Amino acid sequence: MFTGCGTALVTPFKADLSLDTAATRRLIQRQIHEGIDFLVPCGTTGESPTLTREEHLHVVQIAVEEARKAGRKVPVLAGAGGYNTAEVIELARWTGCRVHILHLSSSDALPMIASARRDGVKLTVETCPHYLSFVSEEIPAGATQFKCCPPIREAGNRELLWQGLADGVIDCVVTDHSPCTVDLKRFDIGDFGVAWGGIASLQISLSAVWSEAKRRGYSLNNVVRWMAENPARQVGLNTKGHIALGYAADFAVFAPDEAFIVDVAKLQHKNPVSAYDRRPLAGVVRSTCLAGRRIDLAEQPRGRLLSRGMA
């Protein structure tokens, strides 16, 4: 599937369910002509056939060839379903595509990521607050509010992720905010196998990351770089990520030395489910400003959808 600028395109197949190479090339050419930024294939959707690895590689090759012919940047490689981190890195090395690794939870990948970067592979990486906060040893049996994908891992792994941030191997910390209704977490049976996989943390992610960063001796400037500056640069929002002349006046008023205990009933999330419930956190967000104006939750939302390169 190709996606770009809100468009999704399912890779075409022939009647015998093999990849239709000619039709795929025409669709890629059309997307490039329309100026759409797209991602290389990660499979198909619905009832369509699934790409084999050989077909996946072939479509990647077509996309790279057509983009170069048109003088465009090679497409972004994202979510190559069924491929592990090492294979995705090798695809990036082979194609020259820029790769962004989502939701890194395993520290095992850090050495190969660091090595690929030294070799010039265009690679960026993110992790999430829950992988930096929780450890599998402390998750109670049946506590499905902690289920996420990839899963939370052991304490030693968490510390290596923090080191990866400090070393610059991991670029960003992003929420992967994944809310759901209470019933989807299956608290009634406590079965991790059938419960919804995702953690809602958008409202408290800054405090969650700051709590763990502070404990390890990192500064608030480090946290701002990981959660604001680097993500803004990653997605091409040129006036975000800094409080400076010429930048958008979007910022939070944050009290880093204050603390609070998370009460799921008081969160603004639509559904009262949180792995952080009753967890003490450092740092209180006193207010948030958008375009220099304080946000009032009682007012109508004033935000707008931003695209790469927009102010």
3-class secondary structure per residue, the chain: CEEECCEEECCCECCCCCECHHHHHHHHHHHHHCCCCCECCCCCCCCCCCCCHHHHHHHHHHHHHHHHHCCCCCCEECCCCCCCHHHHHHHHHHHCCEEEECCCCCHHHHHHHHHHHHCCCCEEEEECHHHHHCCHHHCCCCCHHHCCCCCCCCHHHHHHHHHHHHHCCCCEECCCECCCCHHHHCCCCCCCCCCCCCECCCCCHHHHHHHHHHHCCCCHHHHHHHHHHHHHHHHCCCCCCCCCCCCCCCEEEEEEEEEEECCHHHCCCCCCCCCCCCCEEEEEEEEEEECCEECCCCCCCCCCCCCCCCC
What's this model's pTM, rounded to 2 decimal places?
0.81
Mean pLDDT (the chain) is 85
Per-residue confidence (pLDDT) for residue 11, from 0 to 100:
65
The answer to whether the CB of 258 falls within 8 A of the CB of 299 is: no
Averaged pLDDT, 92-103: 84
Averaged pLDDT, 106-111: 94
- 100: nearest Cα among 130, 78, 73: 78
Residue 130 tokens, joined: 């829950």
**147 pLDDT more than 60:** yes
If pLDDT is split at 50, 70 and 90, which confidence band does 4 have?
very low
Q: In angstroms, rounded to a whole number, what is the distance separating the alpha carbons of residues 11 and 231?
A: 30
Strand order in the sheet with 76-77: 76-77, 98-101, 123-127, 172-173
Domain 125-311 CATH assignment equals 3.20.20.140: yes
- 263: nearest Cα among 240, 239, 281: 281
- The torsion defined by the Cα of 20, 21, 27 and 31, in degrees rounded to 10, comes to 140
Q: In angstroms, rounded to a whole number, what is the distance separating the alpha carbons of residues 82 and 63?
A: 19
Burial label for 297, CB within 10 Å (0-12, 13-18, 19+), is: exposed
Residue-wise pLDDT tens digits, 21-66: 888 888 878 877 766 555 555 444 344 456 676 777 777 777 778 8
Q: Which residues 6+ apart lie within 8 Å of 118 measured at CB?
A: none
Q: Which residue has the tokens 């592979």?
A: 121
**223 pLDDT more than 80:** yes
Among 93-97, 112-116, 305-309, name the most confident range.
112-116
Among 2-16, 41-55, 85-99, 286-300, name the most confident range.
286-300
The answer to whether the CB of 74 falls within 8 A of the CB of 95 is: yes
